[in-house]
Chain A
Amino acid sequence: MPHATRLLSALISVTILAGCQGSPPPSQAPEALRGPELATPLPKPDFTLLTLDGAPFDFRKETNGYLTLLFFGYTHCPDVCPVHMANLGRVMKQLPNLVTERIKVVFVTTDPERDTPERLREWLAGFDPRFIALTGSPESIRLAQVAARVQPAFRDTSVATAPGEYLIGHAAQVIAYAPDNMAHSMYPWGIRQEDWAHDLPLLLERWPGTGR
């Protein structure tokens, strides 16, 4: 209790002090993101992959000026990939349209051989029909990961599984490019829906870009 009282009185003095000034504090630190901030922001990668209809998708051009959430994963993934996508889907449904219309979620398969367009469409649409799935040749997908500066996923043949099956190692983080087309923060495995709900509007506010 004495601690709470101390905090309260500290808060009151701060409020009074602030009230004495004619204008708000000049260099107030921006509200911190829940996702770890990058010491050096990353530019949006330049790659072109294919939509599920087989049309080319120029990532930089198609997502220019949007808050773009990029994830590399695969549909046979037990939890990391679907939990990330499901969490984003839930939050996209909660946020107002004014926010979500400025966001694009892009899922790139790292397993183009098993992730057929039909399977990818079914898998991703269950989380949010607005999400964009991209595929391509194994080499073009590898290069896209290199361009995004994530460790490329690999097919792990060192472990024995059932015939015709294999396990995949892959990056576990979602990269968030703000509307200024730079990534200022990463979203590792473990990020929660409430963290997304907190950060997505903040990313739009802090790096609004120059408009589309």
Chain B
Amino acid sequence: MIRRLVHSAAPIFLLTACAGGEVTPNVVLHLAGGFVYAPAAGSEAAGYVTIDNRSPLEDTLLVIRSPGAGMVHLHRQVPDGGMVRMVPVERLPIPPGITRLEPGGLHLMLMALTGTLSPGDSVDLTFAFVSAGEHTVRVPVIAYGDAPPPPPAGERTP
């Protein structure tokens, strides 16, 4: 648990061996400010995280997993006139800078929950990126109507 937290707080340097034998850092990602809403009914929960790509290279988010859910989908809500239309996202480009998953926009849908998620609980989310590999964060479960947790001190703002 402690090791996991330390690991997730530290940037991931995925080292790529180049042809000449040199080693150069590839993509540096920080994940922070995540949370999951306790479901109001049923067996699905929406989740969010902010991804800070601190490298000049684009990465791609491929898969999300959680021990709390049978599967995790990524959806984007798109304003369409006065409506909100929901679109599944298969691969999410992570350009340099901040990518926010936030209410009203991009969200994770934790489906087939393996247990109850109540405010005050926490749950692990593992994100698999093409370049940066896997990154696990432990996020709090909050109630709808609660303010999302503020990003940790020192996080850059866009």
Contact = CB atoms under 8 A, between A and B. Distances in A.
Contact of A126 (B40, B88, B107): B40
B121 to A, nearest CB: 16
A75 B40 contact: yes
B81 A151 contact: yes
A86 B84 contact: no
27 contacts: A75-B41, A76-B44, A78-B103, A79-B77, A79-B103, A79-B104, A80-B84, A80-B103, A82-B37, A82-B40, A85-B40, A86-B145, A119-B41, A119-B42, A122-B41, A151-B82, A159-B86, A159-B88, A160-B88, A167-B85, A167-B86, A170-B84, A171-B82, A172-B79, A189-B84, A190-B104, A193-B145
Given A171-B82, A172-B83, 6 more contacts: A75-B42, A79-B77, A79-B144, A82-B144, A167-B85, A169-B86
Interface string A121-149: 01100110000000000000000000000
A173 B82 contact: yes
Nearest to B109: A78
Interface string A69-106: 00000011011101101110110000000000000000
Contact of B104 (A80, A86, A87, A127): A80
A156 B87 CA distance: 9
B60 to A, nearest CB: 20
Given A79-B103, A79-B107, A83-B144, A168 B86 contact: yes
Interface residues of B, number: 28
Given A189-B104, A193-B145, A79 B83 contact: no
B83 A83 contact: no
Contacts of A159: 86-88
Interface of A: 75-76, 78-80, 82-83, 85-87, 89-90, 119, 122-123, 126-127, 150-151, 153, 156, 159-162, 167-173, 189-190, 193
A123 B82 contact: no
A86 B143 contact: yes
Contacts of A171: 82-84
B80 interface: yes
Contact of A151 (B77, B83, B104): B83
Most chain B CB inside 10 Å of its own CB: which residue of A76, A80, A119, A169: A169
A85 B111 CA distance: 22
Nearest to A118: B41
A78 B109 CA distance: 7
Contacts of A153: 83
Nearest to B48: A79
Contacts of A126: 40-41
Nearest to B103: A79
